């Protein structure tokens, strides 16, 4: 393949969706990574995505190329394979210097891009199933990802428990594992910590799906009501997904408020009003919502999965075992027992951690080092 001779490095970001046209952590990552890379001198950026609309309306520097989307009514893994075939043909036409691939986007025929391919598999959910059923369902995805990793030049780990998984996948191949964490946009100002002590508002933000542990959260809420502590805490659940309709149809405890899908402005207000953030997820990578809560200086309760231990410890929150409603209940009680000063101090510690390690400026710099290692600027 011919290389770019314009003096700039032609980077192609391959994704199956871009926020807000597609929802999810990977889709939000695609948007923010593209926006920040496009601002760097010497980078010519093309984003390949399935949306009919122009995604980056306010950023004409980014070139956009559309390919046909995945059909949600067909077998997902087979659709990923077909999508990657369309992506391969597009890459052959675009002739990139560096390829950044989200998830399974570059798969079929990927060997021809090996020398310039960076794969970002994110949360590795197929390796984190708690039950036998989840493990069996994830087996084809594990095999596919093993092949993809071994054909890539670099694979990006978010850190934590994810790094040794990727080292095992890349073993005895030419692929190198690099750690680049997720990142978040820092709000310009931090809202003062709420002074009202009752009820304590614990905010959940995420997709309403089984893996997010909403059933555990509802169980804890119901238990607090039965213990006579239903007025001490209000769980505010923001998000959308396959379980939302089912949860709305049942009689949820009175200390749960369903906010539904919210836009960024309303979400920022919810972070500002809450006393803490809770995410009892069963498996995860490095959740953007946890970083957002930390950036808003709010303490966090989150499951110890994926790379969450890179974000949260006793200084800024609590880590709980995944799938353990009893430990989640105990942890919520511990949080309720904290003074306002202790909670505020934990929130400040979380904000400081984001400022030091998890801003988009810092993460973009890491990606630029990787890109220039593959194709040095001229």
CB burial of residue 223 (10 Å; 0-12, 13-18, 19+): middle
Angle ∠(190,350,241) on CA atoms, nearest 5: 85
- For the domain covering 9-183+359-374, report its CATH number: 3.40.50.2000
- Does residue 105 contact residue 83 with C-beta atoms inside 8 Å? yes
Q: Residue ranges of the alpha helices (H) in 95-213?
A: 132-151, 162-170
Residue 67: CB atoms within 10 Å: 17
CATH code 1.10.260.30 for 200-357: no
Q: Higher pLDDT residue, 365 or 134?
A: 365
CB burial of residue 320 (10 Å; 0-12, 13-18, 19+): buried
Which is it for the CA torsion 154, 158, 164, 165, positive or negative? negative
Q: Which residues pair with 347 in a beta bridge?
A: none
pLDDT value of residue 129: 64
CA distance 371 to 375: 6
For 167-217, write each residue's pLDDT tens digit: 999 998 999 999 999 999 898 889 999 987 789 999 999 888 888 999 999
CA distance 110 to 106: 6
- Does residue 307 contact residue 294 with C-beta atoms inside 8 Å? no
For 266-284, write each residue's pLDDT tens digit: 999 999 999 999 999 998 8
- At a CB cut-off of 8 Å and minimum separation 6, what does 148 contact? 104, 106, 107, 110, 119, 121
CA distance 123 to 289: 14
Residues of the chain with CATH 3.40.50.2000: 9-183+359-374, 200-357
Predicted confidence band of residue 6 (pLDDT cuts 50, 70, 90): low
Angle ∠(80,84,85) on CA atoms, nearest 5: 120
pLDDT value of residue 1: 39
For 23-67, write each residue's pLDDT tens digit: 778 898 999 999 999 999 999 999 999 999 999 988 889 999 999
Predicted confidence band of residue 130 (pLDDT cuts 50, 70, 90): low
């Amino acid at each position: 393949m011919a290389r770019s001779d314009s003096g700039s490095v032609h980077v192609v970001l391959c994704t199956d969706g871009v926020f807000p046209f597609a929802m999810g952590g990977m889709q939000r990552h695609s948007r923010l990574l593209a926006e920040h890379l496009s601002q760097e001198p010497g980078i010519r950026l093309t984003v390949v995505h399935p949306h009919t609309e122009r995604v980056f309306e306010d950023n004409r520097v980014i070139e956009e190329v559309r390919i046909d989307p995945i059909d949600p009514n067909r077998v997902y893994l087979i659709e990923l394979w077909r999508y990657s075939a369309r992506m391969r043909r597009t890459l052959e036409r675009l002739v990139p210097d560096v390829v950044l691939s989200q998830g399974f986007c570059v798969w079929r025929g990927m060997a021809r891009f090996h020398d310039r391919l960076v794969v970002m598999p994110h949360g590795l959910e197929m390796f984190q199933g708690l039950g036998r059923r989840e493990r069996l369902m994830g087996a084809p995805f594990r095999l596919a990802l093993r092949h993809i990793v071994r054909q890539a030049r670099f694979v990006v780990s978010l850190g934590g428990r994810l790094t040794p998984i990727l080292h095992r996948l890349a073993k005895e191949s030419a692929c190198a594992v690099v750690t680049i964490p997720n990142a978040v946009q820092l709000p310009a100002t931090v809202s003062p910590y709420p002074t009202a002590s009752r009820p304590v508002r614990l905010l959940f933000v995420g997709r309403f799906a089984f893996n997010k542990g909403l059933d555990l959260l509802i169980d804890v809420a119901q238990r607090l009501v039965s213990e006579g502590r239903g007025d001490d805490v209000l769980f505010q659940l923001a998000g959308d997904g396959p379980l939302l309709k089912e949860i709305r149809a049942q009689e949820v405890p009175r200390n749960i408020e369903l906010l539904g899908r919210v836009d960024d402005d309303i979400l920022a207000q919810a972070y500002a009003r809450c006393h803490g953030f809770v995410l009892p997820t069963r498996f995860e990578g490095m959740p953007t919502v946890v970083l957002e809560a930390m950036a808003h200086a709010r303490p966090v309760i989150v499951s110890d999965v994926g790379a969450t231990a890179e974000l949260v410890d006793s200084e800024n929150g609590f880590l709980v075992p995944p799938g353990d409603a009893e430990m989640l209940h105990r942890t919520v009680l511990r949080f309720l027992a904290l003074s306002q000063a202790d909670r505020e101090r934990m929130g400040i510690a979380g904000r400081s951690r984001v400022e030091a390690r998890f801003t988009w400026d810092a993460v973009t710099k890491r990606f630029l080092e990787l890109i220039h290692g593959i194709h040095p600027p001229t």
